[in-house]
Structure 1
Amino acid sequence: MAEAQEALFDAADPAARAEALRREIEHHSYQYYALDAPTISDAAFDSLMRELREIEAAHPELVTPSSPTQRVGGYVGDQFAPVVHEQRMYSLDNAMDLDELDAWMERVREACGGTLPPLCCELKIDGSSIALTYEDGVLVRAATRGDGTTGEDVTVNMRTVRDVPLRLRPDAMDAVTPGTHTLELRGEVYMPKKSFEVLNAAAVTEGRAPFANPRNAAAGSLRQKDARVTQGRDLSTFMYAIADERALQLDGQWELLQWLRAAGFHVNPDVQRCDTAAEVRAFCERAIKRRDELPYEIDGVVVKVNSFSRQRAMGFTARAPRWAIAFKFPPEEKTTLLRDITVQVGRTGALTPVAELEPVVVAGSTVARATLHNLDEVHRKDVRVGDTVIVRKAGDVIPEVLGPVLSLRSPEAQVWDMPAVCPSCGSPVVRDPGEVAFRCISIDCPAQALERLVHWASRGALDIDGMGDEIVSRLVESGRMSDVADYYSLSEEELACLDMGRVKADGDAVRLGRTVAKKLVAAIEASKRRPFARVLFGLGIRHVGKTTAETIAAAVGSMEALAAAGEDELAAIDGVGPKIAHGLWLFMRTPDNVSVIDRLRAAGVTMAAETMVPGEEVPQVLAGLTFVLTGTLASSGMTRDEAGARLKAMGAKVSGSVSKKTSFVVAGESAGSKYDKAVALGVPVLDEAALLRLLETGEVPREV
């Protein structure tokens, strides 16, 4: 620092002074963010920045991309360009309890010749993954995780995150392998809990919808078109990985973390190098106890084999590294007051009891409502209005009521029963013999209309991107929509002017706006091209789920043929049967439904299955094989339904559950329990790339 300090007082050479100021600012940023040990006041730091800005304003030729002044963005981008990662960003397998963690460590022990190698334990930050690329020590690119292979370019936005070094500290460059010019470093972008609370409080004040949790807030902030918005959000990072460990002359993960801190990155201080399974378990148990005390959200602990050479020897499965695992925390449980039980009416008329709760923060987000599933479940759990109940999130996502705290039950607590009439339209509620659900039987029920409209736009049906519950509700309330065909007469102008039912600080109504309206119109137009099976599913015909819709579409071929088919003909379709056939037959002969279908046809919505070239047959190379699909097929843009249809066309059977008889499990992004069961049963797992090769070549993989 002596040379930099000397240059700070040499104003005769603007270039030298600007460079010295940059080094001084970078030094203090390192002290503040990487070491959490600032040595000057904020005012002194601001003074250095102000002077550097003045020099660069007077001498624009001195401005460099890595200058600290270039963090402040005024850039507004049109789109996020795709970025292919240097190496794939894999997901991690999960250990849902300490026993599963022990089982993983035992597998590691066996893979390493009977001796457990040193392991590195790190907190699992609940944020948004990021990859930062440096060329000769200078930040040139930042990309989201995306599908693991290709992410989105968010460089401009990441430059505004102040704990991200724009260039690496010179001393750290000594560890770079000779001849290496590019380093892709990885970590997590997160939003501190207090910053999340401030952001959501401001959103509520301004009439905007709050974020669900800090993770969503971080991801949303990272993908802002205007970098000034990102800059205004309090984002931070923890870095912990490198795409290619051979780019650094280091032995393992523990050494990498020390190098990252020395290079100028913010590295989580709660890490530990463990030599025994007992030390790993103790680290995890401490993390569970400290979870609520931390200023940021965590959802587990990541355990890695420390040695890079051992990592390379252990390798990867189709989805995850064998040398690392994520120990997931048990679901967080909280107690709160059950204020009331209300009823939600679904698109098929099913009535679902919903717990209205005193708001409570569970697993990082506020929970005020939770489904109680059905009346039998309410009575089985003996949940009563006025009870203190235990609430958790299943899989840290879906709120559920576990049951009452009987010792705290009030004498005024009331047993709940299903209402005799629909709360939406007042029509009688019925319960068919043998069914769990109560239903409203009115076809004019407004609640059912709303749910049908939301269902049509949902991802599994016509997938109208951006058409969420709130917008649909406002369109229904305004009288603009009453059935699914109304989507195709919406104009950009009327969507832009849609009153969202909120008021700005100046008293004006909040409108949907031109930008969102333009995207929605494009999404509606794109929905016309969805396959015929998804149109059938989107119509919300009772008992016709996605798989059944595919079966029917393949069998009848078109809406015209479906309308002409008799009950017996439909019942003869494999997988349909008399009950579904009767519902289909009635649906296609209801005048209101026929009218909606006619209007959809006139709008250009798909009304027939794709046909093959005459005389061409698809070879049934997958006959006798059973596939199960799980996760998101992000790279190809296919839905699981579309991938399943292509597999079926080649003779395969596609199942919804994994068993020993399953031939292959296709695991896309964020694969869940089906992947875990496949691994446990030894069922071969294909990643998305392998699936695409299979669909293209028809060659069944011999080894996975």
Structure 2
Amino acid sequence: MGTMTSLDDVPTEAAARHAELAERLDEAGYRYYVLDQPTLSDAEYDGMMREIQGLEAEYPGLVTPDSPTQKVGAPITTDFATVAHLERMQSLDNAMSADQLLAWDERVVKEVGEVAGYLCELKIDGLAIALVYEHGRLVRGVTRGDGRTGEDVTNNVRTIGNIPDRLAGGGWPDVLEVRGEVFLPVEGFEKVNEARAEAGLALFANPRNAAAGSLRQKDPRVSAQRPLGMLVHGFGAWQGGDQPESQSGAYELMRGWGLPVSDRYQVVGGLDAVREYIEYYGEHRHDPDYEIDGVVVKVDQFPLQRRLGSTSRAPRWAIAWKYPPQEVNTKLIDIKVGVGRTGRITPYGVMEPVKVADSVVAYATLHNASEVKRKGVLIGDTVVLRKAGDVIPEIVAPVTDLRDGSEREFVMPERCPECGTVLAYEKEGDADIRCPNAEKCPAQLRERLYFLASRKALDIEALGYVAATALTQPLEPAEPPVRTEGDLFDLTVERLLPIRTLVRDQRTGMPKIDDKTGEEKVVTFFANAEGEPKKTVEILFEELEKAKKQPLWRVLVALSIRHVGPSAAQDLAREMGSIRAIRDATEEELAAVDGVGPTIAASIKRWFEVEWHREIVDRWAAAGVRMADEGAGGPRPLEGVSVVITGAMEGYSRDSATEAVQARGGKVSGSVSKKTGFVVVGDSPGSKYDKAVKLGVPILDEAGFAVLLAEGPDAAKNVTLSADE
């Protein structure tokens, strides 16, 4: 038996050669399997592999799980693990009119004085991405996700041609989180759709969807075949090294490091110059080779950005000017209704298919019966169709001059189109009419099941719209496997195999028509021609097991409690800690949770009063679904303490400081009052500091904030600042 060696016993020269070979073999394997761009001949690759195997045989301490000798030479795939951003990725506030843009500029000037330069750049209609470079090397690519966490798409990002794997030059920070937009050029989008049409695949609706779909491929080789590009629009974390003083300065640094920076941005002086830039690209919207939907205007100087700060969702030093969406005319053939997961009945227009904002549209929302009447739309009208935000198709108005007398009014049905229940308003004054048969209506169950599998809830990718239809509304067998959500985690393979189902359009719920037969499209979803389980079945059960371990807030969203979206669910989970605590809380206790309030609290209490709702929770719990977050009921030293945070701190971002307070049971408020427990001040704190001094509220600097978090409010009171500090 050979003598084992540790890494300490390996000669420096051998370790260095092993590291060099490992890096070259990994790169060659990546280019071969993922990019289909081999850089080594088979003989060179085999020679290097033999050499590294010889080194590891002589020095076993070199063998690690990451060694090329321990990896299978197969395509690299991604699991899309959830990754926390180093700094939160925020949205942008929008300006849709000249008055809104002027109001933003006036507020900026009022708070920081005249601004020497505004940076104007094109708002790319793509997919936001964060790239993390450590010591100049790309280590991670993450989608924006919910702003705090996103999906790890590193392998896919590495296939994008203009994203460098290593930064050029030098002087980069130890850690740099680059923010940007991934897009598919218009020409590339057209070629991708041509190829999909030839292959008989569904076409992408627009370049943005194509870019998102391309970046989220499980097999990076598919991403590599799409001509994706990326342009930088800022940065998040910057750890080590000197930061520039301006956004434009950061762009030029990053350009020098080989990062893709647009050549269309401009730093201009004053609002008139901003308007000129907006007007120019409004007229030259199609000049870039990628889709844009507006212009982003930013205060260029970072010190001013820090003084202006951010709201909970958007920076106050930037605004997005949105161009008016594109509009077209088309014929309204009919108005039908769909049934949503809460029973809401929504009219939608069925139109002659028409291309608008680079996608073909055949359906458009009409919201409710009152909206149909308000717009004066008749069946048979020629209508103006708009994609609001270039995304959601909307009927704007009829072209009344083109009427010929054959048009007719839409009449809202009296009964649910899918279960026959008499429709009604939930309460007097409601705008929406609903199907009250929440438990038994197959349409509502289908929509709820599809929703609970979405990324904002339990994230069960294998449970798409066709699968949700198959489980709740099969043609065969007569008894559906899922009669309420409570059945979901008790499914068996045997119950899935006989299922035959209609394929429905997820926008309308209407059956799709088979192009070849002209009949409604029917599929055997879970079994192959031999009656054996498809791979989909195995994946579904694997994902159901993973779903059981999702955090409490996702379970809350999955229950489809009216008004409880991801934000309120996260607040409830953080404050209450368990389903049991939420279920047992009084309406007043629920309403007192930050981000909840009386409307959501009343909705939660009504939901838990229903027996079959409670049965869903009980059955999920019995199946092993997580019903409480770890640490619930643990130490909460800041319970009942309200904290206001103002100014920039070195050791905390605004988000990380807020989360640190909330994790200890405290509340973070945006305004100072006599009830405020502490005001934490960083650089350039502004008016909140002045108000704290005036009201006599205890003030903490960053060091004092650390004491508050570590030792609680009593200790923090001993390190508060005096007014002259």
TM-score by length of 1: 0.63
Counterpart contact for 1:457–1:467, Cα < 8 Å? yes
Match of 1:469 among 465, 468, 479: 465
C-alpha deviation, 1:279, in angstroms: 1.6
Match of 2:219 among 218, 226, 240: 226
Q: Structure 2 matches for 1:1-40, cutoff 5 A? A: none
Q: Structure 2 matches for 1:684-695, cutoff 5 A? A: none
CA 1:98–1:83 in structure 2 vs 1: closer, same or farther (change >3 Å)? Answer: same
Counterpart contact for 2:459–2:547, Cα < 8 Å? yes
Counterpart contact for 2:94–2:319, Cα < 8 Å? yes
Output the amino acid matched with 2:640. Answer: L
Counterpart contact for 2:126–2:212, Cα < 8 Å? yes
Is 1:338 the counterpart of 2:335? The answer is no
C-alpha deviation, 1:164, in angstroms: 3.4
What CA deviation, in whole Å up to 9, does each residue of 1:484-542 have, x standing for no partner? 2221222468769977878999x997966966545543443455567999878866689
Counterpart contact for 2:158–2:165, Cα < 8 Å? yes
Is 1:156 the counterpart of 2:140? The answer is no
2:405 aligns with 411
CA 1:432–1:529 in structure 2 vs 1: closer, same or farther (change >3 Å)? Answer: same
| More contact order relative to length (CA 8 Å, sep ≥ 6) | 1
C-alpha deviation, 1:195, in angstroms: 2.8
What CA deviation, in whole Å up to 9, does each residue of 1:105-146 have, x standing for no partner? 4455456653x3133321111222345566787x54352254
Cα distance in 1 for partners of 2:539, 2:241 equals 42
Counterpart contact for 1:82–1:152, Cα < 8 Å? yes
C-alpha deviation, 1:328, in angstroms: 2.8
**Structure 1 gap ranges (5+):** 1-48, 64-72, 627-634, 665-677, 683-690
What secondary structure does 2:338 align onto? strand
Cα distance in 1 for partners of 2:202, 2:436 equals 34
C-alpha deviation, 1:648, in angstroms: 13
Output the amino acid matched with 2:442. Answer: P
Counterpart contact for 2:500–2:522, Cα < 8 Å? no
Counterpart contact for 1:465–1:523, Cα < 8 Å? yes
Match of 2:443 among 441, 447, 466: 447
1:488 aligns with 489
What secondary structure does 1:291 align onto? coil
**Structure 2 gap ranges (5+):** 1-34, 50-72, 475-479, 504-513, 527-532, 592-597, 645-652, 677-687, 693-704
What secondary structure does 2:273 align onto? helix
Counterpart contact for 1:212–1:366, Cα < 8 Å? yes
C-alpha deviation, 1:322, in angstroms: 5.2
C-alpha deviation, 1:228, in angstroms: 1.0
Is 1:190 the counterpart of 2:208? The answer is no
Is 1:622 the counterpart of 2:622? The answer is no
Is 1:281 the counterpart of 2:275? The answer is yes
What secondary structure does 1:359 align onto? strand
Is 1:355 the counterpart of 2:349? The answer is yes
2:97 aligns with 97
What secondary structure does 1:325 align onto? strand
Is 1:524 the counterpart of 2:544? The answer is yes
2:31 aligns with none
Counterpart contact for 2:126–2:182, Cα < 8 Å? yes
C-alpha deviation, 1:300, in angstroms: 1.7
Cα distance in 2 for partners of 1:298, 1:326 equals 12
CA 1:100–1:82 in structure 2 vs 1: closer, same or farther (change >3 Å)? Answer: same
What CA deviation, in whole Å up to 9, does each residue of 1:291-330 have, x standing for no partner? 255432112212234456x557647436655554332334
What secondary structure does 2:284 align onto? helix
Cα distance in 2 for partners of 1:438, 1:426 equals 14
CA 1:140–1:334 in structure 2 vs 1: closer, same or farther (change >3 Å)? Answer: same
What secondary structure does 1:164 align onto? coil
Counterpart contact for 1:625–1:662, Cα < 8 Å? no
Cα distance in 1 for partners of 2:552, 2:318 equals 43
What secondary structure does 1:384 align onto? coil
Counterpart contact for 1:207–1:504, Cα < 8 Å? no
Counterpart contact for 1:455–1:538, Cα < 8 Å? yes
Is 1:214 the counterpart of 2:217? The answer is no
Counterpart contact for 2:78–2:153, Cα < 8 Å? no
Match of 1:271 among 248, 265, 276: 265
C-alpha deviation, 1:559, in angstroms: 12
What secondary structure does 2:282 align onto? helix
What secondary structure does 1:124 align onto? strand
What secondary structure does 1:342 align onto? strand
Stretch deviating more after TM superposition (118-127 or 264-273) = 264-273
Cα distance in 2 for partners of 1:342, 1:504 equals 22
1:67 aligns with none
C-alpha deviation, 1:230, in angstroms: 1.0
Aligned residue pair count: 584
Counterpart contact for 2:442–2:473, Cα < 8 Å? no
What secondary structure does 1:160 align onto? coil
Cα distance in 2 for partners of 1:88, 1:432 equals 39
Output the amino acid matched with 1:603. Answer: A
C-alpha deviation, 1:190, in angstroms: 0.6
Counterpart contact for 2:133–2:140, Cα < 8 Å? no
C-alpha deviation, 1:217, in angstroms: 2.6
C-alpha deviation, 1:472, in angstroms: 0.1
CA 1:56–1:463 in structure 2 vs 1: closer, same or farther (change >3 Å)? Answer: closer
Counterpart contact for 1:141–1:153, Cα < 8 Å? no
C-alpha deviation, 1:694, in angstroms: 9.8
Counterpart contact for 1:206–1:504, Cα < 8 Å? no
C-alpha deviation, 1:231, in angstroms: 0.9
Counterpart contact for 1:356–1:370, Cα < 8 Å? yes
Match of 1:388 among 382, 386, 404: 382
Output the amino acid matched with 1:521. Answer: F
TM-score by length of 2: 0.62
Q: Structure 2 matches for 1:692-703, cutoff 5 A? A: none
CA 1:413–1:622 in structure 2 vs 1: closer, same or farther (change >3 Å)? Answer: farther
2:394 aligns with 400
Q: Structure 2 matches for 1:200-599, cutoff 5 A? A: 200=193, 202-203=195-196, 210-241=203-234, 244=238, 253-254=247-248, 257=251, 266-292=260-286, 294-307=288-301, 310=303, 314=307, 316-317=309-310, 323-347=317-341, 349-363=343-357, 365-430=359-424, 434=428, 435-440=430-435, 444-457=440-453, 464=460, 467-478=463-474, 479-491=480-492, 517-525=537-545, 527-528=547-548, 587-588=610-611
Cα distance in 2 for partners of 1:653, 1:140 equals 35
What RMSD in Å do the two structures reach over aligned CA positions? 6.0
Counterpart contact for 2:131–2:142, Cα < 8 Å? no
The percentage of counterpart residues that share the same residue type is: 38
Cα distance in 2 for partners of 1:362, 1:572 equals 48
2:121 aligns with 122
What secondary structure does 2:483 align onto? coil
Stretch deviating more after TM superposition (234-243 or 487-496) = 487-496
C-alpha deviation, 1:390, in angstroms: 2.8
Q: Structure 2 matches for 1:640-679, cutoff 5 A? A: none
C-alpha deviation, 1:424, in angstroms: 2.0
C-alpha deviation, 1:381, in angstroms: 1.6
2:27 aligns with none
What CA deviation, in whole Å up to 9, does each residue of 1:59-87 have, x standing for no partner? 45899xxxxxxxxx964235356777776
C-alpha deviation, 1:384, in angstroms: 0.9
Q: Structure 2 matches for 1:46-195, cutoff 5 A? A: 59-60=44-45, 75-80=75-80, 91-109=91-109, 113-114=113-114, 116-132=115-131, 139-146=137-144, 154-166=153-165, 173=169, 176-177=170-171, 185-195=178-188
